[in-house]
A and B are shown apart, each in its own frame.
Chain A
Amino acid sequence: GQQLNQSPQSMFIQEGEDVSMNCTSSSIFNTWLWYKQDPGEGPVLLIALYKAGELTSNGRLTAQFGITRKDSFLNISASIPSDVGIYFCAGQLNTNAGKSTFGDGTTLTVKP
């Protein structure tokens, strides 16, 4: 089946630093999504990407849909303590009834 690998698995950064993480797949997707999960909560959608090469921002977050359609990137600028959490990428194909395949997550820790 499809597998999504996220890197790095975990990051420890200082408040104010920029963060980059990525997600790669063994097969193509039509849609890429990025979620954030806080402890004890469900994932919350941050950004959705619909076209290869697309670059989309949401506040301090910027995500890109890779040209090959097999990868995506998420950047967070000027990190703050509340950015702490697990970031998941997810891929969707138009043909499989809205099913999302999730990556294995990047855990972000921000030191004040």
Chain B
Amino acid sequence: DTAVSQTPKYLVTQMGNDKSIKCEQNLGHDTMYWYKQDSKKFLKIMFSYNNKELIINETVPNRFSPKSPDKAHLNLHINSLELGDSAVYFCASSLTGANGYTFGSGTRLTVV
């Protein structure tokens, strides 16, 4: 029973396309995150939602739009994909007041 599941695991697409990545958690957590891991393995926060409300929005191009239909889901839609968007995107969740995240296994996005 996967705790934080992301789909798809791999995504290869052409520049200019629009794509979505889905994330679901069954841990009862109330906060969800999107992180981007670049080719040097550096993890950088993109967005955070608490109970469906956006609470962190780092300096991410507005081609990236998160959507949280309920507190168990946080999806990421990316418009007009660029080569520089190629990376591994991780979804994570946590409980307010607790520390430490549970991460999904990542979505490797390759833009060609």
Pick the residue among B40, B90, B100 that contacts A45 (CB under 8 A). B100
Q: Is the CB of A100 within 8 A of B103?
A: no
Contact B105 A40 (CB under 8 A): yes
Closest B residue, CB atoms, query A45: B100
Whether A48 lies near B105 (C-beta < 8 A) is no
Q: Is A98 an interface residue (CB 8 A)?
A: yes
At the interface, yes or no: B56 with Cβ under 8 Å from chain A?
A: yes
On whether the beta carbons of A104 and B41 are closer than 8 Å, the reply is: yes
Given contacts A42-B106, A98-B96, contact A104 B40 (CB under 8 A): yes
* B99 engages A42 (CB within 8 Å): no
Interface residues on B, range: 20 to 34
Interface membership of B102, Cβ < 8 A: yes
Residues in A42-59 with C-beta less than 8 Å from chain B: 42-45, 48, 50
B66 within 8 A of A: no
Q: Note all chain A residues with C-beta closer than 8 A to B4.
A: 42
B103 touches A42 (CB 8 A): yes
Answer yes or no: B86 CB below 8 A from chain A CBs.
Answer: no
The reply to whether the CB of B48 lies closer than 8 angstroms to some CB of chain A is yes
Asked if A88 CB lies within 8 Å of chain B CBs, one says yes
Residues of B within 8 A of A100 (CB): 45, 101
Residue of A nearest to B97 (CB): A98
Given contacts A97-B55, A98-B48, A99-B48, contact A104 B102 (CB under 8 A): no
Q: A48–B106 Cα gap in the complex (Å)?
A: 22
- How far apart sit A61 and B96, CA to CA, in the bound complex (Å)? 26
A92 touches B105 (CB 8 A): no
**Contacting residue for A31 out of B42, B50, B99, CB 8 A:** B99
Q: In the complex, what residues of B have CB within 8 A of residue A48's CB?
A: 99-100
Contact residue among B42, B56, B105 (Cβ-Cβ distance under 8 Å from A99) = B56
Smallest Cβ distance from A31 to chain B, in angstroms?
5
Interface residues of A in 7-61 (CB under 8 A from B): 31, 33, 37, 40-45, 48, 50
Instruction: Report B's interface with A, CB cutoff 8 A.
Output: 4, 31, 35, 40-45, 48, 50, 55-56, 90, 92, 94, 96, 99-106
Q: Across chains A and B, which 3 residue pairs bring their CB atoms closest together, nearest first?
A: A42-B103, A102-B43, A45-B100
